[in-house]
Structure 1
C-alpha cells in the first residue's frame, strides 16, 4: 500500500482507485506534465515471484504496442524500491460491472460490447490475446457528449506465437465465470477464446448473471465444458428470441463453431435485436456447386461425373445440349409467361416448342430404295390374288 501524498517513481499519489490479485491502481500526478495518471503497482510481496513479475512486465510491453481509441494507453513502466509499476492513461468513470442490468437498455449494452469488440479485434490482428475479458475490465469514461468505452488490464495477455509460458501447468488465472472452455482444458488458445468471454460479458450485462453462474467452481467449470448455452431471452423480458441463436454460436464449445471475429458476433446480435434475424451461418451450397432452385436465364451446367458411367471429355457439352435446340414459340399475347420461371420451359398460355423437321433423304441411293419398296409391294399383292383365285 502507498499512502496518499507519497511520491513514488516521481509520481505524486493522490488516492487508490482499485485493488486486484496482482496489485493496486492509484491516481497520481505526472511529475512533469499537467495531467493525471493511473499508476499500477505490483504487490510488493509478489516481487520475488519471477513468473508474476514477467507477466506484469509483459502487460506494459504488449499494450504499449497497441494504439486504439478503445484501449487504455500505457505511457511508461519501471522498478522502484523492489516494486514494479506501470503508468497508464487515467479514465475518469466507472467499469461495466457497476452497471445495473435491470435498467441498462439492451442497445446500450450492445454499444459497450461493440466498442470492446473493436478493441479486441484490433489486438488480435496485432497478435495479442487479452484472455481476461469481463465487465470489470471494461471502463466507461464520463463525457458530456457521449460515452467512451475502454478495454484495460492485459495483465495475463500474451503473444499468440509466443512459445514461452508464464503460468505453471494446470494453473488458471482468468476469471472463471467468463473463461472459454479451451482455457479450462489448457489447450492452445486463439482469438475466439476472447469472443467467448465477450459473449459471457454481454450475457451478464443483459441479465445480471453470467451464463453458468454458481457458488460452486466445479459447477461453473462443468457448465462451460458440458452444458448447452442457456438462452438469454427467458432471463429478461423484451429480449428478442432471435438473440438466443447468436449467443449460442458465440458460446459454442468448439472455437470453430463461433463467429470469425468479435465484431461479427456483435453485428449479428444487433441484427437479431433490431431486425429479427439470427445472424446464423448461410445454408451451404450442395457439393456439386448447383443451386437449390433454378435461376432465370441460367445456362445449363455440366453434370457431375458419377463413377461407373461414361464421362464427357473436358469441354464437351451435355447430351441434351448436343441436339439442335428449338426456340419456343412466342407466348400468347393475352397469357404472358409466369415471372421467375426458368427460361425454355413451357408455361400456361405459351405454345410448346414445334417438333423438328423429319430427316429428308438425299441422293440416288434414297430414290432407288423407294422404287424397290414399291416393286416388292406389287409382287406381294399379285401373289395374294393368285392364291385367292385358286381357292
Structure 2
C-alpha cells in the first residue's frame, strides 16, 4: 500500500478510497492541475503475473477509447517501480452497493439502471464488453441538483471480437452473483451478457439480494444455469407483477431470448412500473390533510323482478269520427314567414278538405224480396176470400 501524504508517480496521495482483488484506489492530487484524481495501483505481489498485468494495462487502453458522460474517464497510465497505475476521473460519492434497498425508491433504482444501460450500450457499439456489471461498479456522484451515475472498473473488459482473450479455459473472473450463464460455461459472449448482469443488478437494488443468492457457490451456479428467474414482485411490496415478465426475459438462459439492448430492457421496465397494479403504501400529505379512503362502489340491485311481466299497452276505445267544424278565428292566423320575411294570412289558402263521413248502404235485394212476398200474400188472401164467397 502507498502511504498517505507520499508522492507516487508525481501524484500526492491523500487517502485510500477502496481496495479490490487486483489493486487499490487512492485519492490523489494531480501534479500540475488543480484537481483531484482517482489513482488505481496494481497490487505489488501481482506484478509478476503477466496475465493480470496485461489485463490491468488493457483496462486503461479500452476505457481511454470511450467518451461517454456515464463512464469514468481515464486520463493516463504508467509504471512506477514494479507497480502499474491508472489515473482516472475522481467521482465524489458512493457506489450503488451502499444503498439501502428498504428505503431506495423503485423509480430511483430504475433511473440508476437506465443511465448505466446508456453507458453499456455505448460501450457495446464501440465493441467493448464490460463483463463485470454489478452495484459496486456503479458510482453515484453527489450533486446539488441531480445525481450523476458512472460505470467504472473495466478491469476484465475486452473487445467483443477479441478471440484471443486473456482468460484461460476453465478460469472465471466475473462476480459470481451477477454473471451470465454463458460466462459460467465458457461459451462465446456478446453484449447480452452485460444485459443479464444489469438485470441482476436491478434485482439486487430493489430486493437487497441477487436473484440466485445462496450459501454456496455451487448453488449460485446451479441457479444461473438451471433455475427459472425468481419473481421479483413478491420480494418487494408495491412492485407490479408485470415486472416479473420483464425480468424473466432479461434473465433468460439463452442470450437470444433476452432484449436486444440494455436500453430496451430499461424501457420495458419503465412501462411495467407505470402500469403497476400492486398495493403501494399510502403516502400521507405533509400539509395536515388526510387521505380519505373511498370504499368500492357496490352494484345496485334492480327493484324489478328478474323475469318481469311483458308490457301490454292499454286498450283505447275507438270513437266514431265526427264531422269537423270550422271555427273562424277572432284574429287572422299567421304562419311562418317565407323568404321575403313577410307573414302571410291563413285565409289566402284554400280550407282543408272536410273529413269523409262513411254513408250507410241500403240492402236492395232484401227489400225487393220483402215486397214480392207481400204481393204473394195479398194474392193468396184475395183468392181465399173469393172461394168463400162463392
Alignment TM-score, normalising by the size of structure 1: 0.70
Distance 2:43 2:3 in 1: 14
Per the alignment, in what secondary structure is the counterpart of residue 26 of structure 2?
strand
For 1:165, the equivalent position in structure 2 comes to 165
8 Å CA contact retained: 2:39, 2:86: yes
**How many residue pairs align between the two structures?**
277
Q: Are the counterparts in 1 of residues 240 and 275 from structure 2 also a CA contact under 8 Å?
A: no
- Partner of 2:26 in structure 1? 26
Query: Could you list the per-position Cα deviations for residues 148-169 of structure 1 after superposition, in whole angstroms to 9, with x for gaps in the alignment?
Result: 0000000000001112121221
Distance 1:86 1:276 in 2: 45
Q: Which residue of 2 aligns with 1:92?
A: 92
| Aligned-residue offset at 1:117 | 0.1
Q: Which residue of 2 aligns with 1:106?
A: 106
Q: Secondary structure at the match of 1:87?
A: strand
Distance of 1:176 and 1:234 partners within structure 2: 24
> What residue number does 1:41 align with?
41
Hey, what does 1:332 align to over in structure 2?
none
Corresponding residue of 1:192: 192
Distance 2:79 2:152 in 1: 21
Deviation per residue, 1:60-84 (Å, 9 max, x gap): 0000000000000000000001100
Instruction: Provide runs of 4+ in structure 1 moved above 3 Å.
Output: none
CA distance in 1: counterparts of 2:42 and 2:162, whole angstroms: 23
Any gaps of 5 or more consecutive residues in structure 1?
278-391
1:246, 1:17 → 2: CA distance? 36
Aligned 1:146-157 pairs, distance under 5 A: 146-157=146-157
CA deviation string 1:115-161 (max 9, x = no partner): 00000000000000000000000000000001000000000000011
Deviation (angstroms), 1:276: 4.8
SS at match of 1:240: coil
In the alignment, the residues of structure 2 paired with residue 12 and residue 197 of structure 1 have an alpha-carbon distance, to the nearest angstrom, of 36
Q: Does 1:227 align with 2:195?
A: no
SS at match of 2:273: helix
1:203-225 alpha-carbon deviations (Å, 9 max, x no partner): 00000000000110000000000
Q: For residues 109 and 2 of structure 1, what CA distance do their matches in structure 2 show? A: 35
- Hey, what's the Cα distance between the residues in 1 that align with 2:131 and 2:41? 21
Instruction: Give the Cα–Cα distance (whole angstroms) in 2 for the partners of residues 187 and 209 of structure 1.
Output: 26
Once residues 69 and 36 of structure 1 are traced to their aligned partners in structure 2, the CA distance between those partners, rounded to angstroms, is: 18
Give the CA deviation at 1:275.
2.7
- Tell me whether 1:256 sits opposite 2:261 in the alignment: no
1:269 aligns to 2:264 (yes or no): no
Correspondence for 1:118: 118
Within 2, Cα distance between the matches of 1:233 and 1:160? 34
Please state if 1:80 is matched with 2:80: yes
- Provide the C-alpha distance between the structure 2 equivalents of 1:95 and 1:49, rounded to a whole number of angstroms: 29
Deviations 1:65-116 (A, max 9, x none): 0000000000000000110000000000000000000000000000000000
1:62 equivalent in structure 2: 62
Conserved? CA contact 2:38–2:87, under 8 Å: yes
Q: Given the alignment of the two structures, is residue 206 of structure 1 paired with residue 206 of structure 2, yes or no? A: yes
Q: Deviations over 1:208-256 (max 9, x none)?
A: 0000001100000000000000000000010001000000000000000
CA distance in 2, matches of 1:63, 1:221: 30
2:179 equivalent to 1:179: yes
Match of 1:361 in 2: none
Deviation readout 1:149-194 (Å, 9 max, x if unpaired): 0000000000011121212211101000000000000010000000
Instruction: Give 2:363's aligned residue.
Output: none
